[in-house]
Every structure is written in structure tokens, then in C-alpha cells.
Structure 1
Amino acid sequence: MAVNILRDSLLDALKDIPGTREFHLHLLVSAPRKSNGLYPFAHPRPRAYLQDILILVSEQETPDSPRLIVTAVEANVYVLPTTSCAVLYVSKVDSSGQGTRPSPTHRIVHRLVRYYADPATRPVKARHLWVHLFARAQSQYLLPNSADFEGKNPLTDVRLCAWWKRVLGEVARDMGSVKDMKSRAWYILPGYNELEALNALGAVRGDTDPWTYGHPYKQTDIPLPCPRDETHLGHFIPSFEDDPKSRFMDDIAYTTEGEVKSPIKKRPRTESSTDGSHKPISRGRTTAPPSTSQLTAQPSSESISDKDKDKPADPTVRELRKVPPGEFWERMSFRQECVAGAITGFFVLAFSCPTSALPPDDGASPLEPLPGHVAPRLNKRVITSLMTTVEFSTRERAMHATTAIESAIRGLCDGLVPASAPTSRVGAVPRPRAPLLQVPGEEGREEPIERTSTPPPPPLSIEPPSTPPRRKTALPEISPNPFAEPVATMDTYHGHIYGSIAVRNPAAVKEIAAPAPPVTVLAVRKKKKKTT
């Protein structure tokens, strides 16, 4: 299924928005690639394919007015063929406050989730879809310094969680009316019970409330993405970047009996000796061989009981087995991200349909790029440029940022700027091109490394807000992708990436409260005293 349908669907979602203006949309969907980080503690680790999504919506009041980016959305899609599941993770949503109200953010996010939830439009081969989201109020996410713009009014923690509950709840109710479609919705506000959460977020608009307060790991109606040959925490909870529950799971995995353990190191590289045997390569001081007492202290294979044989060799699995999902969420309320004085929310949607509701299988590989897909490094380059080289603190800077980012996307498709070229800062003096060296651990990625003692200039904008980085789990290397990365062209740009729509609808009518009826104040008449 061609990915340009998503671009057209997003534009179609804006046709009824109130006001007279023109929207310009840029959609980048990366080609599938192998990923092993969704369930890093699962044994065996399931095979997954990852795609990146970036949506940029700019607004133009009149044909002569400048364009201004008003909405930015970043998401990731994982496909697990073993369980016929897909996972949509909406990682970041931001608005600049530069456009006319109402903002298109609500419609864009709603249509994106619904597009993947509906089996008739779902662009990946999966019967079941899981949608994950972590709601945390911040002044800015994808648009640097937009919080300094006086016209931007970021939602508070309560209003943000209520906004996400309303948007995702609308999708759940829409899909609940589809024939033979199962739709479920769960949410948790760490540190709040169900009654407190209802009082905090208010009632849900609509005839039915699709939400269940709690986690989805007890239900059996919709299969979980990860196969559960074992029942420990690493098979239930997926891991995403910049997600507090993933960091908490890392802490549990590497904490043994009150001590924090480092990830298991890889086995030392061996070299062949003259007699054909292998010995480890030692670097530095030579370690003395173990004594006889040390050798006898080690248990032999015959002395290991059957119970110990069943235990996995990886100590992280033993720790994850000790914490059931219910206890995990109870302890989650004591984490730093959830006790900082602001309400945070975890939202999960699940959709399941029969095989007959999906398009017929064409036999193509899930790694094969489709028309309109771009190289993952092109997508990453645009996001890096957006978050490090431009800013949105004023209208003039937002105009310049919009022009720079939209021109960069077009230029990358037109071949004007190579995808591996370094990003130049605004107003920076051109410097000679640095040699491109391969970065270890990232196949196919090149980074410019300048051999000079002069430190690089400071970044133009403030670093976007983020939580502490996760511990990097030692994961096995991924085999290379059998398909070459797609090359974006101007046909890709006009046919799949860029699109625009002009709307001319009545302006939104503000609800004016009816004047209160006049209140008649009755004066108390005092009884006159009789004079004698």
C-alpha cells in the first residue's frame, strides 16, 4: 500500500478546520529497517522492523504571507511478524503558537492514529495494533525556543493528559463501531487511583467511555506484541527512547540485591595459537591463573540442581521475574518523572481485526521500501536540523526557520545537499568539508570529524528538554538490510512528501456565556421602636 495515502489523509483531516488559510504539509516516512531494541530483555528477542515518521505542518494566512510551522509530530512504528502486531509510539508533539486558532494539531494527531488503527488504511502487515504514549507537560519539544513566543500557551499537566485522553478516546470510539473490530483503551496516572484520576481529568465527552484505568497486561483478548514463552517484565513492557518506564525497567534489570550491576560485557576476543587452540587477548597486566582451591570452589555441571538449570544465565532476567506488572506500575509512581509535582499519564490503545479485514498478502518482504519511503538518515538529518539549527522564539525567526527546514527537505530530495553532509548554522562562515569517517556501531552512517584543535561553536538554540538517558543494553549486532536505501527524488517530493490544501470555512464561533439574570436584593426593613 502506497504511503502517499497517509499524506492525503492528513490533508483531508484539515479541510473542515475553521478559518481561511492554506496549510503546507511535509511527511517523511523512513524505509523499514531491522531493530532489536523494542524488547531488549526478552528471551528470545523478537524480530522487529522499525520506521520513523515526521510530520511538519506550516500555515499561510494569505498567498502573500510567509509560511510558519505550526505543528510538528514525531512517531515510530514497529512491526513484529511473529505475533502479527504493530506498535505505534507517538514520541513528540509540539506546536509553535504562530498560527491562527484553532490549531491543526488535534486533527493531525487524531488522523495519524486512526489511519494506522483502521485495517482498511493500515500501511503495515499486522492484524493487531498497539498505540503507546507518555504524556508529560513541557513548554517545548520539537520546536526549539518556541516557549519564548508570547503567543504560545502550553497546556498544563492536567489539561495535557485530558487532551490526550480526549483525542485517543475519539479514535477508540470510532474504531469500536467498525465491524469485527476489537478496540480497547487503558490509561494510568502514576500516584493516582481511579477516582482521583477521574476527578483530575474530568468526564469524557461522548455516549460511551472506552477507557479502563490500569495496565493492559492482564487481558487476553488482544495478543501482546512480544511472544511470552517466559513471563517476566521484559516480555510485557516495550522500551522506547525518552520514556521513563523504559529507564525504570533498566534500573530493575541491573539492580541485584541492593547493588547496581553494569551490563554484561562481551566475551574477550580470542586469537589462535600455534597449536590451533584459542586464548583471550590480554591487554595490560597479565592475570595469574586461578589456584587449585579456586578451581575446586567452582560448582561442576553435575552438582547443579535441576532448579538452577531452569534459571537463565542472564541475571537481568531473574530480577525482572521478581517484579510483576502490577507492582511495576505501583512503584512507577515513586519515580522522579512522576513525583516532580506534575501529573503524568501513560496511555495505551489496542485494536484487533480478523485476517479477512486486511488487504490480501502480496508476498513482499516487510523490509522492502515502498514508493515514497526515504532513507532513515535523511529523516534523522531533518529532525537534527529542526532541533539544533533553528528556533521559533519570535515571528521573524519562525519565518526563517520554516524557510530553512522546508528548503532543506526539498534540497535533499533534489540532490542539492547530500544526506551525510554536516548541517551549517545560520550565519556561520563556510569551512572546508571535513573528511567523512564511519561511526562504529551505526552501519551506513557517516559523520564529519574535523581534525582540528579549535572547539566547535556553541549551538544556536537551547537544547530541547529531555529526561536522563537510558542505560545502553548490550544488544547483538543486526544483520544488514537486504534492500538498498531508497533515494529521494523530486518525484518522491511532489508525489509523497509535500502537499498543501487551502481552506475557506466560517471562523470558529466563540461561545459567549449568557448574561446572568438580574438579582433582586431585598432590603430588610427594621421595625421601628415605639416611643413612650
Structure 2
Amino acid sequence: MSINLRDALLKSLTALPGVREFHLHALVSSPRKHLSLFPFSKPKCRSYLQDVLILLSEQSTPDSPRILVTVIEACVYHVPSTSSIILYISKVDSTGQCTSPSPTATLVRALLFYYADPTTRPIAAEHLWIQLFARAQSQYLFPNSADFSGKRPLGDIQLCGWWKRVFTDVALQLESRGKRSDAPMVIRLFYILPGYNEIEAEHSLKPVNASRPVTHSYQWTYGHPYSQTEIPLPCPRNDLDTEKTRNLGCFIPSFDDDPKSRFMDEIAYTTGPEGIKSPPRKRARATSSTSHGEDHRAVSNDGDDDDERRDGHNEKDDRPLGELGKVSVDEFWERMSFRQECVAGAVTGFFALGMSSFRNESGSDERSAVSPLAPQPGQVSSKMNKRVITSLMTGVEFSTRERAIRATELIEGTIRGLCEGISVVPAPVIHAPRPRPPTSSSEAHPTTTEQDASFLAPPRTPPPRMANGKRIVPDVSPNPFPEPETSLETYQTFIYGSTCISNPLPQNKDGLNENKVTSTPPVTILTARRKKKRQE
């Protein structure tokens, strides 16, 4: 039996230097049907979605309280028809209240490698894609953590360089694992900094990556991965596909809160110079109050019209929506450089890691025989993940150490209580005081700048592919498996775990610990001699 996610992450933390104790919570939801990964593909691509939430807290001494230091939110998409998996890293955040060095990079690398390594991957698939959109912000999932003086978030260039190093480390680790196994492995790395050409992007990230060179085996490709043919793309392709049916929506996946998804929606529902086109209005059925024969003819004629409209609708359904059939993948990324999310003054980056591992007959384990919707041991319901995220985003804050300690107790207590089936008392929602009602007509319509910013929800991608308030392709088939029920045994075996580490601190070139404060060497002050005046 392969190692579970919790144990794999805890094992990676044992190599960190220092003396401290880590407490980990790994929440993985059971698979559910998802039809919005490639919403514009023909035919529809059926995939299965899982939510992943990793919470890491640290305890510097046995008597000190726990403090949450790192959180990772990710999504796993499984496409059985192409034996592909997409791991999308949604958000990574830290509180800045951990002991140096930070465990965030180690935890992220362990998560990526867990799904990339075929021996630990919990889903039977031959192809894997890891994708993310890097955008520097002061805080993501830890509310008010930017107000803590010890938190030093990375800048835009630093964040892109950080992710490039993380992907490189995972690729090198996969290469080392592939050399020790008999299964061949193909690994490719891609990245794009919108608005930058290849030379500018390499020059911008070169100071960040100067000490971490990329080996020749994994030279990064500056560009998108949707034109290469070495690693199959997740969206299935039929033999009858033509250039008309194989549109832009068959290449680029859609994720929540991702600028590519918003741009895809605009392209799909834009029809040209006239702008956004509304759905065609259906003609009302004709009625007649004359003789029975005339009424029969009216109904039959209207039925023929319905058949013609239905056939015409099918013909239109076979065509790509909007401009999806006219915009190529290269043009999409070229136009992406002019999007507001990419030209707002900060450098952003799209990163992708693709790999294919072809297992032999002996390597096809029992995972391939399990239904994609069957919940595995240790998985929780998606509602539990959403409840924990809601409590984290609305019920607590991390602006000070005392508030972070209280927030850690509430969040970890919520997870344990939900697993035990205890109705956890929700934490009070933190809001600023509500504005007073207007006293004059001039105050009846305040401007956006006058309104309290705390009432403005963070920007998120709305539920895509909605037309007139209805899903375009409703998923009417029910899930044959019930939602998993968690228990205290599940909590202790799969969700919660801790590890104590006691390793020496790293040393610099002089043999001194990097975190050790050394005495300032004495400074010798040289005095300048005055030039004697020449006597005449």
C-alpha cells in the first residue's frame, strides 16, 4: 500500500534544520463529477474534481502554543479518458510567524512530488500536469497576516523565481526517481511572464536563480505547453475532430479565480464587432381555433419547424462558440499579455510541469480497477473543506501573535470537531463597524472610495458557463457513492499528524550557523597623513 499524503508531507519536514515540532492537517475531499474543466470542448470532457487543503502549524518548544505558519489550497482534476491528472495550485500563504528557515517551500515541493511520483500518486494515470498562476500579494488565506511585522512577502519577481526553483527541484527529483525505476519518464517545464519576451524574462529571473542553475536535462521552455506533442493534453480528442471542432477550448483548461478562465469566457461569448451575443429567442408554438383538420396541419407544421430548429441548433452546437474557432493558442497567449491581471504594474507568471510515465504490466496496480468516484480511505466531503476555508477566511485573523494563537486553536478545533461529528460553535465573524445611515441627500449615494473596504469581497471568478441563470450542460447523473463520513479514527490515521525535528542549523562558508548572531569584528580606523609643506 502506498504512503498517504499526510505521512509523505510529514516525512519531508523531518529534514528541516532546527529544533521544533510541526503539526499537520491534510484534508482531501472525495471525487465528484466536474464538467467545467473544458467547458467549450466538443464533446464534453468528463472529469472528476478533488479539493486539497494543507494546514501546517509550528511549536517552537514543548511548552509554547501552536501557531499556523503555512496553508496550501489546491485542486486535483482526473480525466480517465486520457489517463491524465491536473494538479492546480490555487493559493499558498504563510503567516510569517515560523522559525527560520520557513517550511513553506519544503511543504510545497513535497505536495507536488507526491502527485508527480507514480509510486505515490493516489490516482492511476499515466500523464500529469501541474499548473499555477503566480501573482504576488501580501496575503492570500491568512486574514490580516500582512499586518504582522515579521511577515515579509515576496515581490513579483521574487515570487516567480521562487516558483521556478520549486518546479526545478521537483523535476530533478523526478529524474532521480526515474533513473532508479524501469518505467520511462518524460518531463518538461514551461513558463511565461506575460508582457516579457524570452530574453527579458530570463534576465529578470537571472538574479533570483543565479545560485540555483537549471540542468541541461530540464532546460525551461519559454512558452505555453499546448503546442507540444511529447506529453498528451488532458482533453480527449476524437478521430473525427477537425480544425472547426478542435477549438481553443480543447486546449486550455478553466480553473476558478484564474485569468485564463475569464479571458476564455470573453472569447467564447463575443461574436465580433457587434459584441456579446445573447442566446437566440425561441419562436412560440402556433395555435389555431379553426377546424380539427386545420389544427392538425398547424400542429404538424409547427412540429416540422421544431425539428428544423432542433437540427439547426445541433449544427450550431457543433461549431465553436464565439471566437474560439478563430483565436489560436499562440494568439491567445499574445493577447493575454494585455489583460488587466497581467499589466497592472506587477510581474505575473504562468508555470506548468508536464510528465508522462508509462508503467509496465506489473505496475498496473489495483488503483486502475477502482471507480473514479469511489471515495478512498481518509477522504472527507467537499463541504468540510469549504467549511474550514470559510472559518479561516471570515472567523479569525493573524495580525498579532496572540490572535494567531487563538486562530490556530479555533481552526484546528474545528477540524477535529467536524471529524468527531461534534457541532462546532462557529467563530464570530470579524467585521469593521457598519457605516452609519446617511443623514442627508448628499450622503445617500457614497462613492466606492468612501465605502468600507472590508465589505468588498475578494475578486474571484464567478461560476462559469452560465446562461440565463442555468448551467449550459447540467450534470443530471447522480453520484452512486455516498459522501464519506469522518470519524476520530480517520482524523488520527489520515488527517492529523505531528513530527518533532532536531537537526543542526546550516553553516556558511566560515563554518558558522546562519541564524547565529556573531560579534562585530573590530574596525581599524586609518588616519590620513598630512603632506608637509615645502619650504622655499
Match of residue 246 from structure 2: 231
Q: Provide the C-alpha distance between the structure 1 equivalents of 2:167 and 2:397, rounded to a whole number of angstroms.
A: 30
Match of residue 449 from structure 1: none
- Structure 1 portions without partners, runs of 5+: 275-288, 290-294, 429-457
Calculate the TM-score normalised by the size of structure 1.
0.80
Q: Provide the C-alpha distance between the structure 1 equivalents of 2:151 and 2:224, rounded to a whole number of angstroms.
A: 34
Which of residues 323, 330, 336 in structure 2 aligns to 1:326? Answer: 330
Q: Residues 85 and 225 of structure 1 are in contact (CA less than 8 Å); yes or no, is this contact kept in structure 2?
A: yes
SS in 2 for 1:401: helix
Q: Residues 38 and 252 of structure 2 are in contact (CA less than 8 Å); yes or no, is this contact kept in structure 1?
A: yes
Q: Provide the C-alpha distance between the structure 2 equivalents of 1:348 and 1:201, rounded to a whole number of angstroms.
A: 16
Which of residues 407, 414, 423 in structure 1 aligns to 2:420? Answer: 414
State the 1:522 CA deviation: 11
Match of residue 386 from structure 1: 392
| Counterpart check, 1:71 vs 2:92 | no
Alpha carbons of 1:326 and 1:459: their partners in 2 closer, same or farther (altered >3 Å)? same
Q: Residues 33 and 49 of structure 1 are in contact (CA less than 8 Å); yes or no, is this contact kept in structure 2?
A: yes
Q: Residues 410 and 427 of structure 2 are in contact (CA less than 8 Å); yes or no, is this contact kept in structure 1?
A: no
| Counterpart check, 1:31 vs 2:30 | yes
Q: Provide the C-alpha distance between the structure 1 equivalents of 2:426 and 2:282, rounded to a whole number of angstroms.
A: 38
Q: Provide the C-alpha distance between the structure 2 equivalents of 1:269 and 1:381, rounded to a whole number of angstroms.
A: 45
The superposition leaves residues 205-224 of structure 1 with CA deviations (integer Å, 9 ceiling, x where unpaired) of 24334311001111111100
State the 1:311 CA deviation: 6.4
Calculate the TM-score normalised by the size of structure 2.
0.79
Q: Provide the C-alpha distance between the structure 1 equivalents of 2:103 and 2:219, rounded to a whole number of angstroms.
A: 24
Which of residues 272, 287, 309 in structure 2 aligns to 1:257? Answer: 272
Q: Provide the C-alpha distance between the structure 1 equivalents of 2:458 and 2:109, rounded to a whole number of angstroms.
A: 24
Q: Provide the C-alpha distance between the structure 1 equivalents of 2:109 and 2:125, rounded to a whole number of angstroms.
A: 20
Structure 1 range deviating more: 259-268 or 337-346: 259-268
Structure 1 counterpart of 2:143, one-letter code: P
Q: Residues 269 and 322 of structure 2 are in contact (CA less than 8 Å); yes or no, is this contact kept in structure 1?
A: no
Alpha carbons of 1:153 and 1:318: their partners in 2 closer, same or farther (altered >3 Å)? same
Match of residue 497 from structure 1: 495
Percent of paired sites with the same residue? 53
Alpha carbons of 1:174 and 1:417: their partners in 2 closer, same or farther (altered >3 Å)? same
Match of residue 375 from structure 2: 369
Match of residue 187 from structure 2: 183
Match of residue 439 from structure 1: none
Q: Residues 67 and 402 of structure 1 are in contact (CA less than 8 Å); yes or no, is this contact kept in structure 2?
A: yes
- Structure 2 portions without partners, runs of 5+: 290-297, 432-450, 515-519
State the 1:176 CA deviation: 2.6
State the 1:510 CA deviation: 5.8
Q: Residues 13 and 108 of structure 1 are in contact (CA less than 8 Å); yes or no, is this contact kept in structure 2?
A: yes
Match of residue 193 from structure 1: 197
Q: Provide the C-alpha distance between the structure 2 equivalents of 1:518 and 1:210, rounded to a whole number of angstroms.
A: 48
The superposition leaves residues 369-393 of structure 1 with CA deviations (integer Å, 9 ceiling, x where unpaired) of 1110101111111111111111111
SS in 2 for 1:75: strand
RMSD between superposed Cα atoms in Å:
3.7
Match of residue 484 from structure 2: 486
Alignment of 1:110-189 (within 5 A): 110-177=109-176, 178-179=178-179, 180-189=184-193
Over 6 Å off, 4+ runs: 265-270, 308-311, 458-464, 511-515, 517-529
Q: Residues 30 and 375 of structure 1 are in contact (CA less than 8 Å); yes or no, is this contact kept in structure 2?
A: yes
Which of residues 353, 356, 359 in structure 2 aligns to 1:355? Answer: 359
Match of residue 293 from structure 2: none
Structure 2 counterpart of 1:65, one-letter code: S
Q: Provide the C-alpha distance between the structure 2 equivalents of 1:471 and 1:10, rounded to a whole number of angstroms.
A: 33
Alignment coverage as a number of residue pairs? 470
Structure 1 counterpart of 2:499, one-letter code: I
State the 1:312 CA deviation: 3.9
Alpha carbons of 1:324 and 1:410: their partners in 2 closer, same or farther (altered >3 Å)? same
Q: Residues 425 and 460 of structure 1 are in contact (CA less than 8 Å); yes or no, is this contact kept in structure 2?
A: no
Q: Residues 234 and 320 of structure 1 are in contact (CA less than 8 Å); yes or no, is this contact kept in structure 2?
A: yes
Structure 1 counterpart of 2:223, one-letter code: G
Structure with greater helix percent: 2
Structure 1 counterpart of 2:340, one-letter code: Q
Q: Provide the C-alpha distance between the structure 2 equivalents of 1:185 and 1:64, rounded to a whole number of angstroms.
A: 44
